[in-house]
Amino acid sequence: MNREKTLARLLASRPIIAPSMLKCDFGNLADDIAQLEAAGAPVLHLDVMDGHFVPNLSYGAMVIERMREHTTLPFDAHLMISDPEKYLKDYLKAGCDAISIHLEAVPQPISVLEKIRESEALAGLVINPETPVEKLEPYLPHCDLILIMSVNPGFGGQKFIPKALEKLSWVRQRMRDDQLLSVDGGIAFETIAATAQSGATLFVCGSSIFDQSDYSQAITNLRNAATL
């Protein structure tokens, strides 16, 4: 998909509930993807972990390429990897529509963000809970998406860190309306409204969807709670 189209499609779906494919059934990925699509998910969030930048391993471009065969939903890839620039072309080729890199992994991110945009994907920048939000300032004009981590990256099912709310507000005041503000980690029915009030527009939800038997109901409940 081209960048403008992906962005328009996502902006039109706000508040965006993005299921995180970390708690899915890896033995039945195609089924889970079909169920999420039927349940109304507007995008899938793909957590790529390398066992180096974060203390866990998940899946990479080869698995994403196979997922791509099962849906036309946009893929929002969250690269929790060292030296993401080296692997960008693999994730682009695999069919990722948005690619987010960590500021902690790429201290000079402008050229990487621009490279992502030139390849017709949305460019995202992520910060960990301990990274001061002010560090994002020089890079905001180069991003289509800013992602505030509300847990330490690496694992699903962790507790929401409330400090993320101040960070979201800080970014919201400095970003354009055609940029997406995402929050990831511990987003559940009890925490999502506060993140929406602080300006988040894209909500990554792992456990709060996959721990429910009815994905459709879970997505609807989360979306309603995030609607201001």
Distance CA 88, CA 198 (A): 31
Considering the complex, state which of residue 50 and residue 184 has its C-beta at the smaller distance from Zn ion.
Answer: 184
Cα end-to-end span (Å), the chain: 30
Q: For the chain, list the strands marked E by DSSP.
A: 16-19, 44-49, 75-80, 98-102, 122-127, 145-149, 180-184, 202-205
Binding Zn ion (rule: CB under 5 A), the pick from 78, 102, 167, 223 is: 78
Query: In the complex, what is the shortest distance from the CB of residue 144 to ligand DX5, in angstroms, rounded to a whole number?
Result: 18
Distance CA 221, CA 42 (A): 15
Considering the complex, state which of residue 59 and residue 138 has its C-beta at the smaller distance from Zn ion.
Answer: 59
Q: Which of 32, 50, 97, 184 is catalytic?
A: 184
- Residue 50 interacting with Zn ion (CB under 5 A): no
184 is catalytic: yes
Considering the complex, state which of residue 54 and residue 228 has its C-beta at the smaller distance from Zn ion.
Answer: 54
- 23-31, 43-51, 62-70, 82-90 -> range binding Zn ion (CB under 5 A): 43-51
Distance CA 35, CA 90 (A): 26
Considering the complex, state which of residue 204 and residue 219 has its C-beta at the smaller distance from ligand DX5.
Answer: 204
Q: Which does 156 bind (CB under 5 to 8 A by kind): ligand DX5, Zn ion, none?
A: ligand DX5
Inter-residue contact 199 to 168 (CB < 8 Å): yes
Inter-residue contact 199 to 174 (CB < 8 Å): no
Distance CA 138, CA 135 (A): 7
Q: Which does 220 bind (CB under 5 to 8 A by kind): ligand DX5, Zn ion, none?
A: none
When CB distances to ligand DX5 are compared, the closest residue is 206
CA-closest candidate to residue 127, choices 88, 156, 166, 159: 166
Interacting residues toward ligand DX5 by CB under 6 A: 20, 22, 45, 47, 78, 151, 153-154, 156-158, 184-187, 204-208
Binding Zn ion (rule: CB under 5 A), the pick from 42, 43, 47, 67 is: 47
Enumerate the active-site residues.
47, 184
